[in-house]
Amino acid sequence: MEVEVSGLRCAYGRSAAPVVDIEAFAVARGVCGLVGVNGAGKSTLLRTLAGCRRPDGGRATVGGVDLYGRRRRSVVGRIGYMPQQLDLPGELRVAEALDYASWVRDVPSFVARERNREILEQVGLAPRAKDRVLHLSGGMKRRLALAIALVTQPDVLLLDEPTTGLDPEQRAGLRGILADLGLSAVTLLSSHVMEDVVMMADQVAVLEAGRLLHVGPTAAFVAERGGPDGSAEHAFLATIAAARS
């Protein structure tokens, strides 16, 4: 299932300059890392691709279906979205929160029961299934948000800064989950941490002031722009410096 964007413009306020302005962008499968400095437009783009924020111009499609068109219902249910700002039901227990998310997304309860148990194992929250969400640590809340994004077994997974607050073991766990999903889903993840992008994403997209500066295989991006040390950080900084000069 392909995620595609054409002539996409997003602005906050009628006369404001667009904070996302992308002529064309397509991700067909695997994991694409979306990188950019603070305010580059990553969250706005992901929110728009999740079907949560109507663009001010252009189109965003999933599997050829306009996310804001008449047939949107047929695709928004196939998208799993983990926002940057978590809004979790603190009073519920972890397993209940997942069941609730499944109910909201119309996953039949007989399917959800087994699947949610597996998801809790995957994200390492099975031992905390009976804990109240508000008692979880920051990193655990992030893992729960990831679990919630997975309840529909989405074809498209959008993760906004998924590694924030995760310990090294959990980062490795997230890589494992993405590697499994990479075979079947299109994943777009934003991150400030180039190291995470190199380890998790086979493609990298660089966003600067709402515009797409570069899209391509991560390995080539680092090899060609990473300087003598082959540093991903260097590749990123060189790309935005060239665009600003």
Ligand X SMILES: Nc1ncnc2c1ncn2[C@@H]1O[C@H](COP(=O)(O)OP(=O)(O)OP(=O)(O)O)[C@@H](O)[C@H]1O
- E strand segments, 100-185: 156-160
Tokens of 141: 């809340």
3 state SS of 214: strand
Site for ligand X in 51-90 (CB under 6 A): 84
Query: CB-wise, 107 or 200, nearer to ligand X?
Result: 200
Report 27-56 residues binding ligand X (CB under 6 A): 36, 38-44
CB 58 within 8 A of CB 8: yes
Q: Tell me the two tokens of residue 183.
A: 């075979």
Kindly state the greatest CA–CA separation across the chain: 57
**Phi, psi (deg, nearest 5) at residue 154:** -65, 155
Residue linked to tokens 């926002």: 83
* Interface with ligand X, residue 191, by CB under 6 A: no
Strand 79-82, strand 156-160: pairing:
parallel
The nearest distance, CB 60 to ligand X, in angstroms, is 15
**Rounded CA separation 84/141 (Å):** 11
Cβ at position 83, least distance to ligand X in Å? 11
Q: Report the residue number, 84 or 153, with the smaller CB distance to ligand X.
A: 84
CB-CB contact of 84 with 43 (8 Å): yes
Whichever of 101 and 206 has its CB closer to ligand X, that residue is 206
Residue 29: exposure state from Cβ atoms within 10 A (0-12, 13-18, ≥19): middle
CB of 146 to ligand X, least distance (A): 17
Nearer to ligand X, 125 or 194 (CB): 194
Please tell me whether residue 243 binds ligand X under the rule CB under 6 A.
no
Q: Which is nearer to ligand X, 179 or 243 (CB)?
A: 243
CB of 218 to ligand X, least distance (A): 19
Closest CB 40 distance from ligand X, rounded Å: 4
C-beta of 163: minimal distance to ligand X in Å?
Answer: 13
Token pair belonging to 134: 């508000």
Applying CB under 6 A, which residues contact ligand X? 12, 19, 36, 38-44, 84
